[in-house]
């Protein structure tokens, strides 16, 4: 048991459940081996330890008589100072998973300094190209067990044929080594496992939706309806530029790979096809014919 003073028991346990839930689903669906579940304790043990340590600090603060503890030094009440020092943890944003087969190395972290590998994906305002609707990028992803690849385009990329975004989409959709091709079932929608989305630096009136590669506007389901919700551009309504807010390299762009539990697994260049294939190949199982 632990102290209820900081109100963190449910917050942490919900993250525990999410971490275990999507991994358990992958094993039950035949997408990963049973050993995949070992990553749960490897990732969450450190957070459980931190929770106990935080509880200990709160117990000391609440049990010590006022003015009789070294914790009372300073101008602020000790509980106020403790809240401020632990804001990130209290908000559930202090988690950072170490490098593993689910969390890549920081080799290309400079391409997206505001989206730190191992931490939760940070949202920012964008505009959806298909209908010019203002949205938060992080809010369009549902808790549906899918991986996300967010492709941030370089400054001159408008997804014309031969552009980095178009080449990446074509590779993901058709190459035999692509994780989309390799690990998506024949009867599944093309984005059933990996949801590919693109964000451009131009405003919506400077881009042509009809120029987008087919992976960004796929037909899905029994009725073959087209998905119009995968292409975004910078917000032009004064809410902020996602490239500036999240430190995305404007010249080169990048890929940000996000896990089903919304934690960042990798940051890679747009042409890092081999790295993408190797990353997903490290834990996914090819579907049975």
Check whether residue 159 and residue 263 sit in a common domain.
Answer: yes
CA angle 94, 90, 260 (to 5 degrees): 50
Beta carbons within 8 Å of 80's beta carbon, 6+ residues apart: none
Q: 18-27, 142-151, 237-246: which range is least confident on average?
A: 237-246
- Whether the Cβ atoms of residue 31 and residue 193 lie closer than 8 Å to each other: yes
Average the pLDDT over 122-146 and give the result: 94
Structure tokens at 49: 């330890």
Check whether residue 79 and residue 132 sit in a common domain.
Answer: no
**Ramachandran assignment for 106, one of left (phi > 0), alpha (psi -120 to 50 degrees), beta (any other):** alpha
Banded model confidence at residue 8, pLDDT cuts 50, 70, 90: low
Per-residue pLDDT reduced to its tens digit, 227-253: 999 999 998 778 899 999 999 999 999
- pLDDT at residue 195 is higher than 70: yes
- Residue 100 falls inside a structural domain: no
Domain total in the chain: 2
Banded model confidence at residue 10, pLDDT cuts 50, 70, 90: confident
- According to the model, what pLDDT value does residue 54 have? 73
Give the number of C-alpha atoms closer than 13 A to the C-alpha of residue 73, restricted to the C-beta side.
2
The continuous run of DSSP H or E covering 126 comes out as: strand 125-128
CA angle 115, 282, 137 (to 5 degrees): 30
Structure tokens at 135: 């949205």
Banded model confidence at residue 189, pLDDT cuts 50, 70, 90: very high
Check whether residue 86 and residue 140 sit in a common domain.
Answer: no
Check whether residue 166 and residue 26 sit in a common domain.
Answer: no
Kindly compute the dihedral angle of the four CA atoms of residues 216, 219, 225, 226, in this order, to the nearest 10 degrees: 20
- Residue 36 falls inside a structural domain: yes
Check whether residue 44 and residue 173 sit in a common domain.
Answer: no
Check whether residue 23 and residue 137 sit in a common domain.
Answer: no
- Residue 28 falls inside a structural domain: yes
Per-residue pLDDT reduced to its tens digit, 88-103: 666 667 789 999 999 9
- Whether the Cβ atoms of residue 220 and residue 189 lie closer than 8 Å to each other: yes
Pair type for strands 133-136 and 231-234: unpaired
Check whether residue 20 and residue 146 sit in a common domain.
Answer: no
| Rounded Cα–Cα distance for residues 154 and 271 (Å) | 12
Closest by CA position to 32, among listed 21, 40, 24, 44? 24
* CATH value at residue 221: 3.40.30.20
Beta carbons within 8 Å of 154's beta carbon, 6+ residues apart: 164, 201, 250, 251, 252, 253, 270
- pLDDT at residue 148 is higher than 90: yes
- pLDDT at residue 283 is higher than 90: yes
pLDDT above 70 coverage of the chain, percent? 83
Phi and psi at 54, nearest 5°, equal -65, -40
Domain boundary among 61, 90, 119: 90
Check whether residue 266 and residue 138 sit in a common domain.
Answer: yes
- pLDDT at residue 71 is higher than 60: no
| Maximum Cα–Cα distance across the chain | 71
- Residue 29 falls inside a structural domain: yes
Check whether residue 51 and residue 183 sit in a common domain.
Answer: no
Check whether residue 77 and residue 141 sit in a common domain.
Answer: no
Q: For residue 208, with 0-12 CB atoms within 10 Å meaning exposed, 13-18 middle and 19 or more buried, which class applies?
A: exposed
Per-residue pLDDT reduced to its tens digit, 31-40: 999 999 999 9
- Residue 102 falls inside a structural domain: no
Check whether residue 197 and residue 136 sit in a common domain.
Answer: yes
- pLDDT at residue 215 is higher than 90: yes
pLDDT higher for 216 or 45? 216
- Residue 79 falls inside a structural domain: yes
pLDDT higher for 16 or 102? 102
Average the pLDDT over 130-146 and give the result: 94
- pLDDT at residue 162 is higher than 80: yes
- Residue 95 falls inside a structural domain: no
Check whether residue 75 and residue 136 sit in a common domain.
Answer: no
Q: 12-16, 43-47, 180-184: which range is least confident on average?
A: 12-16
3-state secondary structure of 230: coil
Domain boundary among 29, 56, 90: 90
pLDDT above 90 coverage of the chain, percent? 72
- Residue 286 falls inside a structural domain: no
| Rounded Cα–Cα distance for residues 175 and 173 (Å) | 6
Which residue segment(s) compose the domain that 22 sits in? 9-90
């Amino acid at each position: 048991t632990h102290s209820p003073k900081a109100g963190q028991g449910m917050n942490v346990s919900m993250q525990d459940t999410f971490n275990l839930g999507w991994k358990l689903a992958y094993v039950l669906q035949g997408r990963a081996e049973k050993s995949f579940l070992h990553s749960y304790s490897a990732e969450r043990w450190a957070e459980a330890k931190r929770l106990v340590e935080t509880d200990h600090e709160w117990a000391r603060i609440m049990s010590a008589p006022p003015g009789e503890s070294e914790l009372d030094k300073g101008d602020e009440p000790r509980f106020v100072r403790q809240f401020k020092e632990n804001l990130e943890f209290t908000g559930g944003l202090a988690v950072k998973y170490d490098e593993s087969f689910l969390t890549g190395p920081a080799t290309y972290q400079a391409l997206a300094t505001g989206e730190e590998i191992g931490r939760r994906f940070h949202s920012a305002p964008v505009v959806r190209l298909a209908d010019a609707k203002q949205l938060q990028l992080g809010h369009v992803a549902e808790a549906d067990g899918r991986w996300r690849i967010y492709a941030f385009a370089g400054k001159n990329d408008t997804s014309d044929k031969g552009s980095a975004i178009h080449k990446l989409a074509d590779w993901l959709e058709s190459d035999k080594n692509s994780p989309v091709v390799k690990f998506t079932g024949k009867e599944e929608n093309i984005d059933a496992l990996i949801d590919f989305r693109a964000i451009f630096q131009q405003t919506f009136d400077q881009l042509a939706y009809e120029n987008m590669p087919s992976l960004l506007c796929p037909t899905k389901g029994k009725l073959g309806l087209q998905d119009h919700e995968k292409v975004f551009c910078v917000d032009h309504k004064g809410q902020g530029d996602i490239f500036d807010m999240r430190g995305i390299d404007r010249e080169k762009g990048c890929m940000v790979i996000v896990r089903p539990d919304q934690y960042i697994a990798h940051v890679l260049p747009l042409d890092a096809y081999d790295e993408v294939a190797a990353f997903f190949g490290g834990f996914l199982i090819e579907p049975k014919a």
